Structure formats: structure tokens, C-alpha cells
Structure 1
Amino acid sequence: MSRVSTSVPNGLLPDVQATKILMRLLAIPGLSGAESKVVDFLRQELSQAGVAASALKIDSANRRSSLGGETGNLVLRLPGNIRAPRRLLVAHMDTVPVCQGARPVQRGRRIESKDKDTGLGADNRSGVGVLLTTALSILRNNIPHPPLTLLWTVQEEVGLHGARHVRLGLLGKPKLAFNWDGGAANSLKIGATGGYRMDIEISGIASHAGGHPEQGVSAIAIASLAIADLVNNGWHGLIEKGSQCGTSNIGVIRGGEATNVVTESVCLRAEARSHNSKFRERIVREIEKAFRKATKQIRNSSGKLGSIQFSGQLDYESFRLPLKDPSVVAASQAIKSEGCKPDLGIVNGGLDANWLTAHGIPTVTLGCGQKSIHTVKEWLDLEEFHQARRIAMRLVTEVK
């Protein structure tokens, strides 16, 4: 467990009050694309703390996202009363499907889901809570601070759409940026992999599987040959080729209507990841190569082949911040002020920080106590959540 500082930043909302707010946040439904109730709660809490409705902005990220969705990102800009660069605080509002219907319950110093078949949603309602309680602490106690921007994003779990499509003009050109997501309170992610998502559509030739199977070309058979090729040649799962490494996965397969029909159509969804963009592009080429090769291996009795189509997009580009980056330095110092050693790392998943950094806002990601995320065993370490709040408070009030 992380060491806990005995020093509490002045004006920080008491742990009991912050926990009550967090419990309410955890109980709000809000899957990706359906975050409007979370936005309503945040606006209500901030309004009661004195924030004018005009200071809260919602952008059009949802309308630019392929998913659509109920709402865009929520942005709050607070003018500073200390001369210092603007700081950006970020957390995503959406949760994964396993957390739908979560009923949080506190057991000692941890919060769990009351139902055994439901995740908690601490990823990332605890991050949302860190931002909200930090803002409430400042507003209720008139704490001096530099200019601040708080950004609650949508649709992080399904492709980082909120951060990708954020209206940059609302952010006020921050010079330091801190994102709260999964992990221990002393974790400090300074980089992340890049990811490419692709759709693969295989068109076979339908025929009766009992009467004339030879007249058909099975789209499922083509897919099977391609996947076997990728696995056998080391291009599926963990990929290590010389000094380069990455991952790939065929994650979704849909097709077929009946056992007595040679399958005419199959749709697959795949992804490729690597910290090296050139190697990631090679992984994509190898996936396409395997499927094209498989398409040519199966002919029907008339000599006809199936066909294949690919489409895809870059979900997020990889990045790695230097240790001397101002946000890395500030976050490291705040963690050390809590009596902890910063646990710097690079992750193999996408973060809102990927797109914010690509937008020209170098962003570090800190944790706030989430454990076993995306599973029914998810739980939140309350000690680390409150430690994350203290770290956030230091980042927005301690200016050197």
C-alpha cells in the first residue's frame, strides 16, 4: 500500500463528504454514449457550489463521434487568482457494460459492487470524483489557485472519442495537464501504446451444405484459414519480431444463418497495437496479407473465389513524455509530497492522454485506487482515492 501523508492540503473536502459524493456517482448509470445523467449530477453539484451555468460548457464531441451519444464533453473553466500557467484536469465519465446497474456498497476502507454479477464502475467514476471534489474544495473555501480547466470526457472506453473530438478552444491553452484513470494513487503513466482498429468483411458463395456444398465458398472457412495463418506465424496475440513488439487480436466474428447453408458472409473486427507506429502498420499489413491469402485458397466447383474488404482507422497514436516534461515533474513532486515514490510507467492500452497529447497538450495519467477494473470483482481502495484527491489538490494549489 502507498504511504499516506499526514499533511492534508488546506481546504480539502473531508473524506466523509467526498466518499458520500463518490457513492452517488458510482450509482449513476452511464455507459459509453449515455453519460447525460453523470453530466446532470456534475452540473447540479457545481451550481450549488456557486458556478454560473454559463461557466459550464458542453462541446459537440458526441456529434462528431461515430457512436453518436447523448452528450458531449463537460468543460469548466475557473479563472485564477494566482499568476501561473493554466492547468487541465481530466477524467472520463463512461463505464463499461459489466458495470451497468451497479449498486455500490462500502465495506470498511473499500467500495465494492453489491451484486456479484455487476462491476463497480470505479473506472472511472473515482476519477470523476477526484475532479469534482477538488473543484468543490476550491469553490467552497475560496482557495487561491492558478487558472484551471476541468474536463469530463465521454466515450473513453469505446475509442477515446471524447478526447479525440474535444473542442480545444474551450480548454484555454493549458500548459500542464493531468488525467485521472485506473491504478494506484502513486502510479504515473507518462506514455501509452498506439492502436489501430479494423473491420474485415469476407464474402463467400452460398449453397446448400447438404445438397451441393461443392458449389459454395465458406466465408467461415476463409476466416479460419486466415486466423490460423496469423497464429502459426506469430502475428496474433503477443507479437515479438526481433527488437520490435506489439499485439493483435481478432476480437469479434459474426456470420452464418444455418448449419445447412455454406456461409456467404462473415464480418470480423480486429486491432493492432504497438508503441512503434511503423511496426503497428506492419502488423496491419500482415493481417490483411493473411486474409487475402486465405481468400485465394478456397474455390468452388466452378473455380470461383470469395472476396474480401478491409476498412480501419487509427484509434490513437502512441506517445511517451520526457521525464523533464513540466506535467511529469509537477505530478512526481505532488506524489512525493504524499510520502510516496512515483511509479512511472508506459501502458499497452489507450488513454485520453493519447489524444490530448496529440492535440498538443502533453498529459500524464494518475491513478485513484481502482482495482480489477472491467470485471465483476472490481473494487475501490478508499485510502488511495483520498490520497489521489490530496495529490490533485496539491497540483492545483501548490505553485512554485
Structure 2
Amino acid sequence: MKEIEVVPTEALDRYLKLTAIPGPSGKEKQVAQAIVDELIAAGLDPSQISYDGAESRTRLKGDCGNLIVQLPGSGSGPRTMLSAHMDTVPICVGSDPFVDGDQVHSRGATGLGADDRSGCAAILTAAITRLRAGDHQFPPAVIVFFIQEEVGLQGACHLDIAKIGSVDRAFNFDGGPLDKVTMGAIGGERMEIKLTGIPAHAGVAPENGASAIVMAAKAIAQLDATGWHGKVEQPIGVGTANVGVIQGGDATNVVTPEVNLRAEARSHTPAVRSRIVAEIRAAFENAAASVSNAAGKTGHCEFNSHVDYEAFELPSDDPSILALESALRSIGREPYQRLAGGGLDANWLNVHGIASVTVGCGQMNIHTADERLHIPDFQDACRIATMLICEPRR
């Protein structure tokens, strides 16, 4: 695979510019516009740039959809797709990046936003490098900058696949070490649980009440005792479960009439994830039915769940995996294959019929104030992205 030279200093400057732009989930428009401005300045016809309106279909109504960039070309060969997500977690709003040796940090108590502005910058660098080299000599390619990845992969979920066209191989640039070839990822499901009890004066007549807090406590205790909370290791398989949010109660002198909870379940096996969800539901429904007042009236449970992303695993000889590993080895890297314990945009791309492998860009300590970017890894990610869409005419 012949490499077209990337300018490392330009690539780093591009990243520093992008990561300083505020862009939490649902507010990616300013980031998208910065990307568009650079592409047009590099010579891309504006007609090759579009949005897919995904923000009108996501749970969180945003200010722009997925940004889709078509790179025309007359060369023969596989049509390649590159992707990254534009949004960051809230702690990264206000990122003030600075270079310290071979790393980038953020000043103050904000996160850096390397997840995933480094992926955006690597792909943008590849596109600009290709445009400068003369786009006509390469096979066509498509780039997608996703919205709302950090709130349940919503941009990838609601991608307008008709705007993408046929894809022969796909590469998602997201968190982690550059050498790690993420060939699959876990599936996740989220739950909203409402427990309704019976209010009463906690000091005068507590026996007339049925506490929703007691219901929640009983359900969580049962799940923990039976191995269906935390790390789940059951005869049917393994996964994880977590009740992560509990909200309820207004006063100590009132038997709490309502508690709202949010929980999640994950597994690489869809049937195991579904079983975990079923166990959580049963625990809360049984707990609500078991707590009653002096008159024998019991509580009630409302339970809703939705799948955030389905698990997937590409075969080791998938064309995207083979191409990525070849590119990594060509620059002296030693790739290794892994499955991800968290969701990726690649989960939904797989559902859409696009088998996508994920590669990191040198992000470290993501989602924290100590987030960093390893510059050599990032610059090599720029080289890899460029190589993947700049194969010579065949």
C-alpha cells in the first residue's frame, strides 16, 4: 500500500482547533461547520457535502444531522467508508488544549475531547491530503461524521443509509490505542423503571403507606444476592448489569410514593442481555407487589426498556480487518484484535449492513478531566486514514 505523505504539524493544528470547539451531544453544528469549511477550502465541491436529518429522529433533538462527505474518484478498487463522531461528553465543553511533550492536555478541570475529535481530525486530514493529491486517481470514498454517539449511538442508529451508497469496507476511528483492531462490540439495553407506592405520614400513620424506596431496595438487594447485578456470570452466559440512577422522595416525614430508576444491561450475547433485563424486570415487579400497607394495598411497577445497540463480531478475515492490519504493519505497527466492552458507532453500522472495524487514535483517560492525546499515535492514525482512502488507481 503506497503512502501519501501527511503533514504532521498541520494535522496536530487541525486537531487542536477542532477539540476547542464546544460540541456536546445534540449541539454539534459548530463542529460540523468547521469541518465543512476546511474541506471546501481544500477544494471539495460543496455539492459533495450533505446532512441526513438524523437530528429529527433521535431521542435528543439536536442542531444538525450526521455530516456526510462524498469523495468522488475515477480509480477502480473498493469503495471505502471512514467515520468518527463529533460530539463529546459534557466535561469536555470548554476544552483548552495545550501541547506538553508528546501529549495534548486540557487546562483546568475540563476534559480534552480527544474522544472523538481526534478521530474527526484524523479523517479530515486524510480527506484534505487526498484532495491535494488529485482526487481523480483514487476510488470513490465516503466519510460520515456522526452526531450523538455519547448518548446511545443515536446518530449512527438513525443514519440515512440511502445517502451512503454501497460500501466495500469501513473504518470507524474512535477511542483507544492505535494498534488495537476492534472487530466487535458488546450489546447494550437501557431501562426506565417507575415504582409507585402509597403516601402516608411517616410519623403519624406509617402503616397506611407503602414505600417505593423499600420496593427499590428489595429489588436491588435481590438482584445483587442472586448474581444479576454487577458482573453477571450465569450458566447461560456472562454480561453486566447496573442500576445507575435512583430518584425519589421529597421529605423525611412522608412515606415515599414514587421512585424512578434507570438501569442498563450488557452482553456480547443478545439472549443473555435479554435474560438480564427479564431478571431485572421480575425483581422490581415482585418487589412492588410484595410491599403493602395495613389495608393490603400494594405498590405498582412500570417498566420500559430499549436496545441501544446490538452486539456484533466480525470474522478475523473480514476485508476491513485485513486492510487495516495491512496498513498498520506497513508503518511498523503490530495490530491485535479485541472485542469492545462498550458500544461503538460500528454496532449500528453493522445493523445497517456495513461491516465496520474500529481503530483508535491515541486517546487516553477519556471522559475525565485527565484526558490526553498521545500525539505520535494520533499522527499515525492520520497516516492510516490517508492510506485507506488513497490507494492508487488499479
Structure 1 residue 254 displacement after superposition: 1.1
Q: Give the letter aligned to residue 379 of structure 1.
A: R
**Percent of aligned pairs with the same amino acid:** 46
- Aligned to 2:354, which of 350, 361, 370? 361
Q: Give the letter aligned to residue 203 of structure 1.
A: T
Q: What residue is the counterpart of 1:125 in the other structure?
A: 117
Structure 1 residue 297 displacement after superposition: 2.0
Per-residue deviation, residues 287-321 of structure 1 (Å, max 9, x unmatched): 01111121122111111101001111111110000
- Aligned to 1:296, which of 255, 280, 289? 289
Question: What TM-score results when the alignment is normalised by the length of structure 2?
Answer: 0.97
After TM superposition, the structure 1 = structure 2 runs for residues 141-220 of structure 1, keeping only pairs within 5 Å, are: 141-142=133-134, 144-220=137-213
Matched, 1:261 2:254: yes
Worse-superposed segment, 289-298 or 104-113: 289-298
Structure 1 residue 212 displacement after superposition: 1.4
Which secondary structure state, in structure 2, belongs to the residue aligned with residue 157 of structure 1? helix
Q: What residue is the counterpart of 1:4 in the other structure?
A: none
Q: What residue is the counterpart of 1:393 in the other structure?
A: 386
Q: What residue is the counterpart of 1:138 in the other structure?
A: 130
Which secondary structure state, in structure 1, belongs to the residue aligned with residue 118 of structure 2? helix
- Gapped regions of structure 1 (runs ≥ 5): 1-6
Which secondary structure state, in structure 2, belongs to the residue aligned with residue 223 of structure 1? helix
Matched, 1:378 2:368: no
- Aligned to 2:4, which of 10, 26, 36? 10
- Aligned to 2:331, which of 329, 335, 338? 338
Structure 1 residue 10 displacement after superposition: 2.1
Contact kept in structure 2, 1:197 and 1:313, CA below 8 Å: yes
- Gapped regions of structure 2 (runs ≥ 5): none
Per-residue deviation, residues 363-399 of structure 1 (Å, max 9, x unmatched): 0000000001111111000000001111111111236
Q: What residue is the counterpart of 1:241 in the other structure?
A: 234
Q: Give the letter aligned to residue 102 of structure 1.
A: S
Per-residue deviation, residues 135-163 of structure 1 (Å, max 9, x unmatched): 11111232532111000000001110111
Q: What residue is the counterpart of 2:82 in the other structure?
A: 89
2: CA distance, partners of 1:156 / 1:28: 17
Structure 1 residue 8 displacement after superposition: 9.0
2: CA distance, partners of 1:99 / 1:207: 44
2: CA distance, partners of 1:230 / 1:34: 37
Q: What residue is the counterpart of 2:71 in the other structure?
A: 78
Q: Give the letter aligned to residue 27 of structure 1.
A: A
Matched, 1:98 2:91: yes
After TM superposition, the structure 1 = structure 2 runs for residues 259-338 of structure 1, keeping only pairs within 5 Å, are: 259-338=252-331
Contact kept in structure 1, 2:199 and 2:256, CA below 8 Å: yes
User: What is the number of equivalent residue pairs in this alignment?
Assistant: 392
Which secondary structure state, in structure 2, belongs to the residue aligned with residue 234 of structure 1? coil
Structure 1 residue 355 displacement after superposition: 0.4
After TM superposition, the structure 1 = structure 2 runs for residues 24-43 of structure 1, keeping only pairs within 5 Å, are: 24-43=17-36
Contact kept in structure 1, 2:4 and 2:390, CA below 8 Å: no
Contact kept in structure 1, 2:2 and 2:391, CA below 8 Å: no
Contact kept in structure 1, 2:95 and 2:110, CA below 8 Å: yes
Contact kept in structure 1, 2:79 and 2:139, CA below 8 Å: yes
- Could you say if the C-alpha distance between residues 114 and 140 of structure 1 is closer, same or farther in structure 2, counting changes exceeding 3 Å? same
Q: Give the letter aligned to residue 17 of structure 1.
A: E
Moved over 3 A (4+): none
Contact kept in structure 2, 1:198 and 1:269, CA below 8 Å: yes
Q: Give the letter aligned to residue 128 of structure 1.
A: C
Q: Give the letter aligned to residue 362 of structure 2.
A: G
Structure 1 residue 11 displacement after superposition: 3.9
